Amino acid sequence: MNPLLTLVFVVGTALALGRGLDLGFWTDLESGLCIAGSVWLRYAALGIAVLVSLFAGRKLACEPKNLQNHCKPSGIVTAMAGAFFTAAGFLRFAVGMTGAGSFVRAILEILCGQWLARLAKSWLRKDWKIPTRSLTPAVLGSAVFYWCVLARFMENSSSWHRVEPTAMVWQMLAALVFLSAMVRALWLPETSNGCQLCEAGICTFLLCFCWELPRVLVLLFHGITAADLPEVLFGFGMCCIGALGLFTVARVAGSDGRPAIPRHAVG
Other beta carbons within 10 Å of 40: 12
C-alpha distances out from residue 235 to 2, 70, 109, 229, 252, Å: 29, 27, 12, 10, 26
**Per-residue model confidence (pLDDT) at position 156:** 55
Q: DSSP letters along 18-50, please? A: HHHHIIIIIB-TTT-BBSSS-HHHHHHHHHHHH
Per-residue pLDDT of the chain (267 residues; tens, 9 = 90+): 688 899 999 999 999 999 999 998 888 877 777 888 888 999 999 999 999 999 999 888 887 878 888 899 999 999 999 999 999 999 999 887 777 888 999 999 999 999 999 999 999 998 888 888 888 999 999 999 999 988 877 765 556 777 888 899 999 999 999 999 999 999 988 888 888 999 999 999 999 999 999 999 998 888 788 888 999 999 999 999 999 999 999 988 854 434 444 433 443
**Most distant CA pair in the chain: distance in Å?**
54
